Amino acid sequence: MTIDPIQLTADLIRCESVTPNEGGALVLLDGLLTEAGFACTRVDRGETSNLFARWGDKDAPTLGFNGHTDVVPVGDIDAWTKDPFGGEISDGILWGRGATDMKSGVAAFAAAAIDYVTRNQPENGSIALAITGDEEGDATDGTVALLDWMAANGERMTDCLVGEPTCPETMGEMMKIGRRGSLTAYFTARGVQGHSAYPHRAKNPIPALAALVDQLARHSLDQGTSHFDPSTLAVTTFDTGNPATNVIPAECRATVNIRFNDAHTGAELIAWLDAKAAKVAEDFDIEIDTRATISGESFLTEPGAFVDLVAQAVEAETGVTPALSTSGGTSDARFIQAHCPVVEFGLVGKTMHKVDEHVPVEQITQLKRVYFRIIETYFA
């Protein structure tokens, strides 16, 4: 049984699976994987559809693949030159929402896995596919739900590869062995409203909050670590919501986002933010409330056997030695890292989330070959 990953990607693109809609994408994959001998289970939670598929004994060493079939909205439909859900192939290019991020990646690893299990029968090995419909959304009921279900049902992956686009410009040039953590902090400064002509009768929260965000923005969190660039802090909004020029407002708000490396934990950074806010509040004699959310902790899969295996497979099929990177935003690997060693490798991601998202079809075929070689070598 041989699956064409290009055709499968096109078929998946035709499934209008904008988060949280399943759109038929997981139904399509379920059918193909079941026919190939995978035991498939829908792990839906809330409005999110998820699929877990295993071939082989769950007690055997298990190579896992993770990806998502949900996509971001198309945006301005009139700006597209191709049907975003048409799956059109023209001049060696496949067009449509999800062509890069990441229906092509899911198609490539599903096709590679199906091809492998229909040709080989390793005595002590298993393949697991954990596919979610909630990566582009809140990500609370997607891969997290799959991992919760796996824990409750005695399912486990020994190592996992996430098929997100990882290459900036050239196929094969980069794989991810870790990701920075992400934290967003929301500050609300409260004073006393008053007339701007009589500032002594008011308590202006704006200078206090301005001082706080200035201190945070000028602070150097670290100088980087062995596998990570320096952590960053960005002020993303500062707002009083005050339309009047003669009123000192009683309240103003600011938000900062921190992308942090493995020199920090989210809890440590929140404690630092709380302490800075408390000091400024004391200095200016106002109240500052702080609320923070952690999207994910930083993590690193140390270079070793699994990282080497993936890197060697990439180089063998692309002729390019991949850089071992921790750059970029977050992915569902941030959840998997607590379950097993995880790395990411996928296509060139230049058009992801853009109007007229597209991918050269040769990259999809190449990606399937990389994944097939990884599976083959893993069970050799």
Out of 22, 70, 141, 262, the active site residue is: 70
Q: Is 135 a catalytic residue?
A: yes
Rounded Cα gap, residues 273 and 284, in angstroms: 17
Three-state SS for 257?
strand
Do the strands 181-190 and 287-296 form a parallel or antiparallel pair, or are they unpaired? antiparallel
Give the torsion sign (CA, 163, 328, 100, 83). Answer: positive
List 22, 134, 135, 344, catalytic entry: 135
Which has the closest alpha carbon to 109: 380, 378, 370, 330? 370
- What 8-state DSSP symbol labels residue 322? P
Q: Which two tokens stand for residue 179?
A: 């990701």
Strands (E), the chain: 39-42, 50-55, 62-68, 89-90, 93-95, 126-132, 159-162, 174-176, 178-179, 181-190, 194-195, 232-239, 247-248, 251-260, 287-296, 299-300, 323-325, 342-344, 358-360
Among 67, 77, 60, residue whose Cα is nearest residue 26: 67
Number of neighbouring beta carbons within 10 Å of residue 211: 15
Which SS3 state, helix, strand or coil, does residue 305 take?
helix
The one-letter amino acid at 149: W
Catalytic center residues: 70, 135
